[in-house]
Amino acid sequence: MLKIGSLILESNVILGPMAGVTDLPFRLVCKDFGCGMVCSEMISSRALHYEDRKTYKLLETDEKESPLSVQIFGSEPELMAQAAEKIESMNIASVIDINMGCPAPKIVNNNDGSALMKDIKLSEKIITAVRNATKLPVTVKFRKGWEVSSENYLDFGIMCEASGADAVTLHGRTRTQYYSGKADWEAIKKLKDKLSIPVIGNGDIFKFEDIQTMIDKTGVDGVMIARGSLGNPFIFSGITPDRKTLITTALKHLELMVNVKGEHIGMLEARKHMAWYVKGMHGAARIKDLINSISEYDKMKNLMTSLLEEKYEY
DSSP SS3 for 298: helix
**CA 95 and chain centroid, separation:** 13
**Helices and strands in the chain: count of H runs, count of E runs:** 13, 11
Residues in a beta bridge with 171: 143, 202
CB atoms within 10 A of CB 260: 17
Tell me if 220 sits within 8 A of 214, measured CB to CB.
Answer: yes
Whether 102 is catalytic: yes
Residues in the chain: 314
Please state, in angstroms and rounded to a whole number, the distance separating the CA atoms of residues 277 and 177: 27
Please state, in angstroms and rounded to a whole number, the distance separating the CA atoms of residues 57 and 52: 9
Residues in a beta bridge with 38: 68
Choose the catalytic residue: 30, 39, 102, 160.
Answer: 102
CA angle 124, 16, 1 (to 5 degrees): 90
Catalytic positions: 102
